[in-house]
Amino acid sequence: MHLIETTPMPCMICGQGNTPTNDGSPRRFLDLERDTFWDDPAILCEDCCLRIAGLFGTPSPEEVQDARRAVRELKTENHELRTQLDRTKVRARRLGIQLLDDETTEETTASVAV
């Protein structure tokens, strides 16, 4: 199997040929390197390949994009919370309050769990 940019035959499933996608980008095809019927190559378009992959549980490009967006938002939130914690530690030190370090907190939690 290999990807091809232009195809001698349309997609076996939907019949798409060498036409651009809705956004104008060239359509990609998968050549299965098998001959069908009267020596016609077995070709699948990218859309049909994504539908087949979805049947096997592969996330769609939209799901991947949503997951990346969620990770980016969580990283931003984590950074903001760590910054706020650092500011709180600085204020506590100025007031003479000793806060536990992250390592000390993890050791305490681990000893309680045992």
Which amino acid does the sequence have at 56?
F
State whether residue 86 is helix, strand or coil.
helix
Cα 26 to Cα 7, 49, 52, 114: the distances in Å are 11, 16, 20, 59
Q: For 45-94, what is each residue's pLDDT tens digit?
A: 988 999 999 899 999 889 999 999 999 999 999 999 999 999 998 898 88
* Residue of 77, 21, 24 lying closest to 50 (CA atoms): 21
Provide DSSP, 17-30: -S---TTSPPPPEE
% the chain with pLDDT above 90: 41
* Residue of 8, 61, 2 lying closest to 30 (CA atoms): 2
Averaged pLDDT of the chain? 86
pTM of the model as a whole: 0.58
